Structure 1
Amino acid sequence: MEQPEAESAPGCPVPATPAEVLLDGHRATRDRVARSILDHGPSSAADLAGRLGLTAAAVRRHLEGLAAAGLVESREQRVYGSRGRGRPAKVFALTESGRDAFYQAYDQLAADALRWIAESVGGGKAGEEAVAAFARARFGKQGQKYQGSVREAAPERRAEALAEALSADGYAATVRRGPSATAAKAPAGAQLCQHHCPVAHIAEQFPQLCEAETEVFSQLLGTHVQRLATIAHGDGVCTTYVPAPGAAPSPRPGPGAAPTAGTSTETPATSARRSPA
């Protein structure tokens, strides 16, 4: 059972900055709650209680404190497929300030380094290409670590093998498989979900990072893949669609998501969505 911890007196204001809330030694458990959301993505109080070995009541108390400090926000849980009766479950996700509390110093250093790379070749198009070259080299080297375990897996299980490799590097990746759209016994396509992205804030400024990572996924999995959502563009999870072996990729990228690796950036679905109502 969770040990009592020192709390501020009733009516006292929360610390002035998000970092103070997370780093305060008297609030180590609250830090664990925030870190669990960072690692696993939007989570319910019950999920957090199970992962951290706390009571649901204790977790809710910490979530209230994090929400008051602007570090987390509640939202309805997304349900894929048919939803049963009753109110949808409430999950808690980190806000931009919550992510900043973990990554602010590292993000600034990385952003400065990439900006220097771009400016060192004159900026503009040449600068964008220089950053893209760095991103391809960086993620390409990372992909080399995963190549053995992914290629050894059966084609229909490569997404799971990649998720395991990504999780070992701290990306908290999972795979969600949906029903086959063609035949009951045909392999189903998959959504590769990364609940944690250590470069999310940098990718907001340098989308070449997301694009290079998508290319590496395509190479590792031996098929075209498509980004449906990214943390860098405000989504709770980076989601990449991986078609079943022999199937075509999904034509429905999310807003701001990177294009399908190896395909055109325009599809009928995206063109229609960009047209005024």
Structure 2
Amino acid sequence: MEGVVIQMAAEESAGIRPREETTREGILRLIMERGPISAAELAQLAILTPAGVRRHLVALEDAGAITECEKPGQREARAGRPARYYVATDTGQNAGATSYHTMANAALDFLRENLGEAGVEEFARRRERSLVARYRDALGDTENPAERLRRLARALTQDGYAASVRDVPGTQDGPRQMIQLCQGRCPLRDVATHHHFLCAAETRAFHELLGVPVQRLATIASGSHVCTVTLHANSV
């Protein structure tokens, strides 16, 4: 993400128009990673002028890639006009996606019809093992759950999941601090929507990779704007 931010700042300062689409993609990625997020927060993260951010937000809204939403706790905020918060829509989630999902869904349907639930369960176990093998090295040898989660988020982001780590409000100062892994984009969304066992396999893989219990709170496949798992930062 640091590279995206630096590139945004350079383009905005130089007034480069041919690269504007890349800047807009960076704004969309920030919304997927950090949403719900306001224009002011985006301007700080992207090192852009408020006017520049608003221009991209209008274009993304017109394209149907983002939409306004109410941020949790916004109703209890101070009096006055509330800030606008944005999340990615299904269209935004699918930006740059391919049509692989049609064939993948057909293949999994065929698997279920011909091998039954046993075949589906075996595929899920293989998916779980594949995820563990893919991300194990990225986590290194640290045993700290919070640091392992941050490393996992970076690796997932490189694979297109727009992942971030967030503190759970109200738990930061306690002995049982809670943290969340949020994935603002799911490259498998159109498949996982029809085959939820893929989400369950991912959750089990995260449990094995992190070495602590994790709880799945939400998935994009089930209609949320972000996939979320939570865990105790100080678990041993």
Change (3 A) 1:55 1:151: closer
Task: Supply the AA of the counterpart residue of 2:211.
Answer: G
Cα distance change, pair 147–70 in 1 and its aligned pair in 2 (3 A): closer
CA 1:69–1:174 in 2, change beyond 3 Å: closer, same or farther?
closer
In the TM superposition, residue 147 of structure 1 has moved relative to its aligned partner by 2.6
Cα RMSD over matched residues?
A: 3.4
1:197 to 2:203 alignment = no
Return 5+ residue gaps in structure 1 as ranges. 7-24, 248-277
Q: Compared with structure 1, are the counterparts of its residues 83 and 133 closer, same or farther at alpha carbon in structure 2 (3 Å cutoff)?
A: farther
Number of residue pairs the alignment of both structures matches = 221
CA contact (8 A) 1:151 1:220 kept: no
Question: In the aligned structure 2, how far is the partner of 1:206 from the partner of 1:168?
Answer: 24
How far is 1:238 from its partner? 0.9
CA drift at 1:187: 4.0
- More helix per residue: 2
Structure ranking higher on relative contact order (CA contacts 8 Å, 6+ apart): 2
CA distance in 2, matches of 1:83, 1:144: 44
Partner of 2:227: 238
Give the equivalent residue in structure 1 for 2:166.
176
The match for 1:116 is 110
Equivalent residues of 1:132, 1:209 under 8 A apart: no
In structure 2, C-alpha distance between the alignment counterparts of 1:102 and 1:68, rounded to whole Å: 17
Whichever of the two has the greater Rg, that structure is 1
Deviations 1:177-235 (A, max 9, x none): 34559xx6624122221222211221111101100000111112223221111111121
Question: CA contact under 8 A between 2:32 and 2:162: conserved in structure 1?
Answer: no
Q: Which moved more, 1:145-154 or 1:57-66?
A: 145-154
Aligned to 1:159: 149
| CA drift at 1:74 | 0.7
Q: Which amino acid aligns with 2:151?
A: A
Q: Which amino acid aligns with 2:231?
A: V
Assess if the C-alpha contact under 8 Å between 1:156 and 1:187 holds in 2.
Answer: no
Q: Is the 8 A contact 1:225 1:240 kept in 2?
A: yes
Name the structure 2 match of 1:275.
Answer: none
TM-score, scaled to structure 2: 0.74
Structure-1 separation of matches of 2:71 and 2:118: 39
1:4 positional shift:
7.5
> Is this contact kept in 2: 1:191–1:240, CA < 8 A?
yes
1:66 is aligned, of 39, 60, 64, to: 60
| Native 8 Å contact 2:33 2:182 kept in 1 | no
Q: SS at 2:127's partner residue?
A: helix
Q: Is the 8 A contact 1:38 1:94 kept in 2?
A: yes
Unaligned runs of 5+ in 2: 1-11
The normalised TM-score by structure 1 is 0.65
* Among 186, 205, 209, the residue aligned to 2:198: 209
Alpha-carbon distance in structure 2 between the residues aligned to 1:31 and 1:167: 14
Equivalent position of 1:98 in the other structure: 92
Distance 1:192 1:220 in 2: 13
1:107 matched residue in structure 2: 101
| AA aligned opposite 1:194 | Q
Q: Do 2:145 and 2:212's aligned partners in 1 also have CA atoms closer than 8 Å?
A: no
